[in-house]
């Protein structure tokens, strides 16, 4: 009964979304306030319906209802309740329902928080969100029904994929989707602006919080996925340039560019057409990511070709939304005359440079991700594009971007001179140079990690110099505290996010100095790595709720003093007949000691030992970036009503 | 600065960015594209010695030898076959959990002057019935499996099969 109710709620949501996509749009075109006023209630109705469907699905998983196909395939009564619930979105159908739920939440938020929006703009934004929702609800109803029944019901589910039973992975999809779908809102604003033919500072002020929120969530989602890969997959790496990872990085790059160009629209009313284009691009790349992950095209283009229903459906949605939006763009964009004029050397110019580099990196990653599929389908050649390609192609673009970041943040609007900015940054440059020399001296002339440390110090010191300049710390120290309190939170947030990237840079540079060793040890024997003595005490059997394991005990000592006891495991799951390795990690914030247990032979256990300097900083930096985004979002100016557009007629 | 000159400057800048991105991509493609080859491909046309590529096929039954290298690192030697040809592979490292004789495997590495493939990575991280798509394709090309005739023959006997005439 409950699954049927959920299915009905989904269908109801689809109808409501269709109405939300049509009625307010019509109202805005005809300037009919009654039709416009229907937008928010319809959005609220769609939200309630989708939430009901999602709740029904959660309930089916929670009680392990084995008459539901999705539960049979993806759940099992032996799972802890938490993982039963998170398993709701750990599969294709459920994750699509989550996608639509977050979209409906965004629609509800635009309806609820957007009361100060001009009525016609809000109506059009809600209509575009409704149309996006219709497409994806139709996709779920037509190809991926999460409530499909099986009869007779099997005794228990089959799904107990051990790798997926993890808190990090449980949180990863919702965060990622909050980012992806957040860009649906900026997309809707961009399309609405194209229909109206007007982009102004008020529009920029409305778009920026959405771009910020989506960006912060996407940053957290990507970082969480990377952290999960690091501790769960046991390869000791944190980023593999895997197509699934790239699919989330692409909208992040476009979204970061959007975040910065929206500032220019808000403050200076320049770069309007470009910002609208970026908003379209960010959502297009989000949809592309959804297509890549959800269509199965990544596993094999041929598997995709043999069961193309889902993939073709998403591809059609992608073509419809992106193609439609770009056609609208080609038609309406020339009408949006640029107004703000600026010299190349100015804050605006620096932000253009930022956009240029971010979009170039985005294009390179896109080509590297899609080319293997293209080559397989069209040329019939099987190739793969690995980390060496991405490192070689993106680093030369990232380096000037990082070099320019602190400079750009200090440039004044409209017209600037370089010399005063350099004067404020000399000590940051000096610190970066010192870091470079120090790293070269200490780490034995390893150039790339040393450059990474220099970049990290440059970014963090540059952000500090930016704040010091704004609160006049050196010019008038007595008043600095008062000025710091008066400084808008957006300024703090921006500086914090830039510094966060510096922290991540330091972590990546530290991982560039990571060392590992592969050893076969008998109990009582020990190996040396990175100045530590790693001693295998023994290997014994262990058992968990649904697995048995071999567990090694490794004690790590430095100069005779014990540092850590690590217990890596190889787990065997009888239900799925799968083996996983559980890496053991000891961190003190500055370095990770990381041990993986391999196979055992002739009384010896094969161990892979890793010493990863500064590894946790990679994700710490991402968290700081997201915190900066959140701080910016809490700025008073974001929350208070946007000013009425200049020279605009009274709201409809 | 007039509007015209500003527009020109922005266009130039965009062209520069796009151009450098294209140049970087092409340069990186030239050096870093990793091709997938089957043992038959290797026999037909061996790649340049210093070029990394991926070699895929089935682990030949009875070919796996494990040893501990001079530096204390565990090493494994095995042969990868697609039924028509086989090639020796040597790998120093932990073999994946699902590495089995007779199972599909994809390895990344370089061909040494001795004709032995020196693998730096061995991927077999799928379930027991899964066949990597490239390996399935290589087996079909070697003429040992016609998908229209049903599922692939049991993997354990691949190294004893002989290619069908005209396959």
Assigned CATH for A515-615: 2.60.98
Position B82 scores a pLDDT of 81
Position B167 scores a pLDDT of 31
To the nearest whole Å, the CA of B37 is away from the closest chain A CA by 8
* Cβ A432 vs Cβ A359: under 8 Å: no
Interchain proximity B97–A381, CB inside 8 Å:
no
Q: Average pLDDT of A113-138?
A: 92
Q: Residue A341 half-sphere exposure, CB side, CA atoms within 13 Å?
A: 6
Nearest 10 degrees: Cα torsion B87, B90, B94, B99: 20
Our measurement of the distance from residue B26's CA atom to the centroid of its chain's CA atoms, rounded to an integer in Å, reads 22
Torsional sign, CA A215, A218, A220, A222: negative
Lowest model confidence (mean pLDDT) among A75-89, A152-166, A240-254, A384-398: A152-166
Closest CA to A134 of A241, A49, A19: A19
Interchain proximity B6–A341, CB inside 8 Å:
yes
Annotated binding site of B: 126, 130
Q: Read out DSSP for A365-385?
A: HHHHHHHHHHIIIII---EEE
To the nearest whole Å, the CA of A485 is away from the closest chain B CA by 38
Q: Average pLDDT of A325-330?
A: 92
B124 — pLDDT class (breaks 50, 70, 90): low
DSSP reduced 3-state for A163:
helix
Instruction: Select from A397, A581, A606 the Cβ nearest to the Cβ of B21.
Output: A397
| Residue A643: pLDDT over 50 | no
Interchain proximity B133–A581, CB inside 8 Å:
no
CA distance A420 to A371: 45
Position A648 scores a pLDDT of 39
| Residue A324: pLDDT over 60 | yes
CA distance A617 to A638: 30
Q: Residue A260 half-sphere exposure, CB side, CA atoms within 13 Å?
A: 24
A78 — pLDDT class (breaks 50, 70, 90): confident
Lowest model confidence (mean pLDDT) among A436-445, A481-490, B78-87, B139-148: B139-148
CA distance A628 to A50: 32
* Cβ A573 vs Cβ A162: under 8 Å: yes
> A367 to chain B: which residues are within 8 Å by CB?
25
CA distance A341 to A570: 63
Q: Phi and psi dihedrals of A164, rounded to 5?
A: -85, -5
| Residue A166: pLDDT over 80 | no
DSSP reduced 3-state for B86:
strand
* Cβ A59 vs Cβ A145: under 8 Å: no
To the nearest whole Å, the CA of B21 is away from the closest chain A CA by 6
Question: Residue ranges per domain, chain A?
Answer: 1-160, 200-414, 515-615
Whole-number mean pLDDT of chain A? 87
Q: What is the pLDDT of residues A426-481, one digit of tens each?
A: 899 999 999 999 998 887 778 889 999 999 999 999 999 999 888 888 778 888 88
A344 — pLDDT class (breaks 50, 70, 90): confident
Position B165 scores a pLDDT of 36
| Residue A158: pLDDT over 60 | yes
Instruction: Select from B66, B97, B133 the Cβ nearest to the Cβ of A302.
Output: B133
Q: What is the pLDDT of residues A505-544, one digit of tens each?
A: 999 999 999 998 888 888 998 899 989 999 999 999 998 8
Tell me which chain A residue has its CA closest to the CA of residue B127: A578
| Residue A103: pLDDT over 90 | yes
Our measurement of the distance from residue A358's CA atom to the centroid of its chain's CA atoms, rounded to an integer in Å, reads 15
- A33-56: b (≥16 Cβ within 10 Å) or e: eebbebbbebbbbbbbbbbbbbeb
| Residue A597: pLDDT over 70 | yes
| Residue B57: pLDDT over 90 | no
Position B5 scores a pLDDT of 74
Instruction: Select from B9, B33, B97 the Cβ nearest to the Cβ of A581.
Output: B97
Residues across chain A: 652
Phi-psi region of A380 (alpha: psi -120 to 50; beta: other; left: phi over 0): left
CA distance B78 to B90: 7
CA distances from A75 to A83, A153, A472, B96, B151 (A): 9, 13, 59, 26, 29
Q: Read out DSSP for A223-269?
A: HHHHHHHHHHS-SS-S----HHHHHHHHHHHHHHHHHHHHHHHHHHS
Sorted by sequence, the CB contacts under 8 Å of residue A49 that are 6+ apart come out as A9, A10, A12, A13, A16, A104
To the nearest whole Å, the CA of B74 is away from the closest chain A CA by 7
> B18 to chain A: which residues are within 8 Å by CB?
360, 363
DSSP label at residue A644: P
Position A644 scores a pLDDT of 44
DSSP label at residue A149: B
> B139 to chain A: which residues are within 8 Å by CB?
none
A546 vs A644 pLDDT, higher one: A546
Position A116 scores a pLDDT of 82
CA distances from A570 to A74, A76, A162 (A): 23, 22, 12
A381 — pLDDT class (breaks 50, 70, 90): confident
CA distances from A474 to A28, A93, A242, A466 (A): 53, 58, 47, 12
| Residue A192: pLDDT over 90 | yes
Interchain proximity A384–B54, CB inside 8 Å:
yes
Interchain proximity B127–A384, CB inside 8 Å:
no
* Cβ A270 vs Cβ A342: under 8 Å: yes
CA distance A316 to A291: 10
Q: Average pLDDT of A91-104?
A: 92
Angle at alpha carbon of residue A626, lines to A625 and A631, rounded to 5°: 100
Whole-number mean pLDDT of chain B? 74
How big is chain A by its Cα radius of gyration, in Å?
27
Interchain proximity B35–A382, CB inside 8 Å:
yes
Position B112 scores a pLDDT of 84
The fraction of chain A above a pLDDT of 90, given in percent, is: 49
Torsional sign, CA B47, B50, B51, B57: positive
CA distance A334 to A239: 41
Tell me which chain A residue has its CA closest to the CA of residue B121: A235
Lowest model confidence (mean pLDDT) among A36-40, A319-323, B57-61, B141-145: B141-145
Annotated binding site of B for heme: 126, 130
* Cβ A635 vs Cβ A212: under 8 Å: no
Residue carrying structure tokens 């008038």: A476
> A384 to chain B: which residues are within 8 Å by CB?
34, 36, 54
Position A24 scores a pLDDT of 93
> B72 to chain A: which residues are within 8 Å by CB?
519-520, 527
Angle at alpha carbon of residue A59, lines to A58 and A63, rounded to 5°: 120
Position A646 scores a pLDDT of 42
DSSP reduced 3-state for A103:
helix
CA distance A524 to A538: 7
Q: What is the pLDDT of residues A282-298, one digit of tens each?
A: 999 999 988 888 776 76
Query: B27, B30, B33, B40: best mutation site toward chain A, by most A Cβ within 10 Å?
Result: B33
| Residue B159: pLDDT over 60 | no
* Cβ A282 vs Cβ A275: under 8 Å: no
DSSP reduced 3-state for A509:
helix
Interchain proximity B33–A382, CB inside 8 Å:
no
CA distance B39 to B45: 10
Q: Average pLDDT of A492-508?
A: 95
To the nearest whole Å, the CA of B25 is away from the closest chain A CA by 6
Interchain proximity A364–B25, CB inside 8 Å:
yes
| Residue B143: pLDDT over 70 | no
Closest CA to A110 of A66, A47, A29, A167: A47
DSSP reduced 3-state for B102:
coil
Our measurement of the distance from residue A611's CA atom to the centroid of its chain's CA atoms, rounded to an integer in Å, reads 27
To the nearest whole Å, the CA of A517 is away from the closest chain B CA by 8
Residue carrying structure tokens 């070709």: A305
Position A651 scores a pLDDT of 37
* Interface predicted TM-score (ipTM): 0.74
| Residue A161: pLDDT over 70 | no
Interchain proximity B97–A579, CB inside 8 Å:
yes
CA distance A443 to A430: 20
Sorted by sequence, the CB contacts under 8 Å of residue A564 that are 6+ apart come out as A555, A556, A586, A593
Q: Average pLDDT of B142-163?
A: 52
Peptide bond into A199 cis (omega under 30): no
Q: Average pLDDT of A327-347?
A: 80
Interchain proximity B74–A341, CB inside 8 Å:
no
CA distance B11 to A489: 35
Interchain proximity B28–A357, CB inside 8 Å:
no
Closest CA to A520 of A602, A605, A610: A605
B100 vs A111 pLDDT, higher one: A111
To the nearest whole Å, the CA of A488 is away from the closest chain B CA by 31
């Amino acid at each position: 009964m409950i699954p049927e109710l959920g299915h009905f709620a989904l269908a109801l949501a689809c109808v409501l979304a269709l109405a939300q996509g049509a009625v307010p749009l019509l109202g805005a075109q005809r300037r009919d306030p009654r039709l416009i006023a229907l937008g928010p209630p319809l959005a609220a109705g769609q939200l309630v319906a989708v939430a009901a469907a999602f709740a029904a699905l959660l309930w089916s998983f929670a009680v392990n209802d084995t008459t539901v196909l999705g539960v049979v395939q993806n759940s099992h009564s032996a799972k802890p309740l938490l993982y039963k619930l998170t398993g709701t979105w750990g599969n294709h159908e459920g994750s699509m329902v989550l996608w639509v739920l977050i979209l409906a939440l965004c629609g509800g938020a635009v309806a609820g928080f957007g009361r100060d929006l001009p009525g016609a703009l809000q109506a059009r934004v809600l209509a575009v969100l409704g149309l996006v929702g219709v497409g994806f609800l139709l996709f779920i109803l037509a190809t991926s029904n999460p409530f499909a029944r099986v009869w007779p019901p099997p005794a228990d589910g089959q799904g107990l994929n051990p790798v997926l039973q993890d808190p990090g992975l449980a949180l990863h999809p919702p965060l990622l989707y909050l980012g992806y779908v957040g860009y649906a809102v900026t997309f809707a604003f961009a399309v609405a602006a194209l229909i109206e033919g007007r982009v102004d500072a008020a529009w920029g002020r409305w778009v920026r919080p959405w771009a910020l929120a989506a960006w912060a969530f996407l940053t957290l989602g990507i970082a969480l996925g990377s952290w999960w890969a690091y501790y769960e997959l046991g390869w000791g790496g944190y980023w593999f340039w895997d197509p699934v990872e790239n699919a989330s990085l692409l909208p992040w790059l476009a979204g970061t560019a959007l975040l910065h160009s929206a500032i220019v629209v808000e403050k200076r009313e320049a770069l309007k057409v470009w910002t609208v284009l970026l908003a379209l691009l960010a959502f297009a790349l989000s949809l592309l990511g959804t297509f890549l992950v959800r269509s199965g095209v990544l596993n094999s283009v041929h598997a995709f070709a043999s069961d193309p229903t889902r993939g073709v459906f998403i591809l059609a949605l992608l073509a419809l939304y992106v193609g439609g939006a770009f056609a609208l763009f080609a038609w309406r964009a020339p009408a949006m005359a640029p107004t703000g004029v600026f010299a190349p050397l100015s804050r605006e110019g620096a932000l253009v440079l930022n956009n240029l580099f971010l979009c170039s990196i985005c294009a390179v990653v896109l080509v590297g991700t899609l080319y293997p599929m293209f080559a397989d389908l069209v040329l019939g050649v099987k190739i793969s594009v690995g980390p060496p390609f991405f490192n070689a192609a993106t680093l030369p673009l990232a380096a000037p971007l990082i070099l320019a970041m602190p400079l750009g943040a200090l440039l004044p609007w409209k017209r600037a001179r370089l010399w005063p900015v350099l004067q404020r940054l000399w000590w940051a440059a000096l610190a970066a140079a010192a870091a470079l020399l120090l790293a070269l001296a200490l780490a034995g002339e390893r150039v790339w990690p040393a450059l990474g440390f220099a970049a990290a110090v440059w970014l963090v010191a540059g952000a500090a110099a930016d704040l010091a300049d704004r609160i006049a710390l050196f010019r008038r120290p007595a008043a600095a505290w008062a000025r710091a309190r008066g400084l808008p939170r957006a300024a703090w947030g921006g500086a914090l996010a830039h510094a966060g990237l510096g922290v991540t840079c330091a972590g990546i540079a530290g991982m560039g100095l990571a060392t590992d060793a592969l050893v076969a040890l008998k109990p009582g024997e020990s190996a040396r790595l990175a100045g530590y003595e790693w001693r295998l005490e023994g290997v014994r059997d262990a058992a968990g709720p649904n697995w048995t394991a071999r567990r090694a005990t490794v004690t790590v000592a430095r100069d005779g003093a014990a540092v850590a006891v690590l217990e890596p495991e190889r787990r065997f799951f009888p239900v799925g007949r799968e083996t996983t390795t559980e890496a053991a990690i000891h961190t003190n914030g500055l370095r990770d000691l990381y041990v993986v247990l391999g196979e055992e032979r002739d009384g010896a256990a094969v161990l892979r030992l890793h010493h990863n300097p500064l590894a946790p900083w990679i994700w710490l930096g991402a968290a700081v970036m997201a915190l900066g985004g959140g701080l910016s979002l809490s700025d008073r100016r974001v929350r208070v009503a946007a000013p009425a557009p200049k020279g605009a007629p009274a709201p409809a | 600065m007039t509007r015209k000159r500003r527009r020109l400057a922005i266009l130039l800048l965009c062209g520069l960015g796009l151009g450098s991105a294209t140049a970087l991509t092409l340069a990186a493609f030239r050096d870093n594209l990793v091709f997938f080859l089957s043992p038959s491909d290797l026999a037909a046309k061996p790649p340049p010695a210093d070029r990394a590529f991926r070699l895929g096929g089935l682990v030949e039954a009875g070919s796996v030898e494990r040893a501990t290298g001079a530096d204390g690192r565990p090493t494994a030697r095995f042969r990868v076959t697609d039924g028509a040809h086989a090639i020796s592979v040597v790998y120093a490292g932990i073999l994946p959990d699902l590495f089995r004789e007779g199972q599909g495997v994809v390895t990344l590495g370089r061909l040494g002057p001795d004709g032995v493939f020196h693998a730096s990575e061995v991927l077999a991280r799928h379930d027991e019935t899964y066949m990597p798509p490239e390996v399935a394709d290589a087996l079909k090309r070697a003429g040992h499996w016609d998908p229209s005739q049903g599922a692939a023959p049991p993997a354990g006997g691949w190294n004893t099969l002989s290619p069908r005439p005209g396959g």
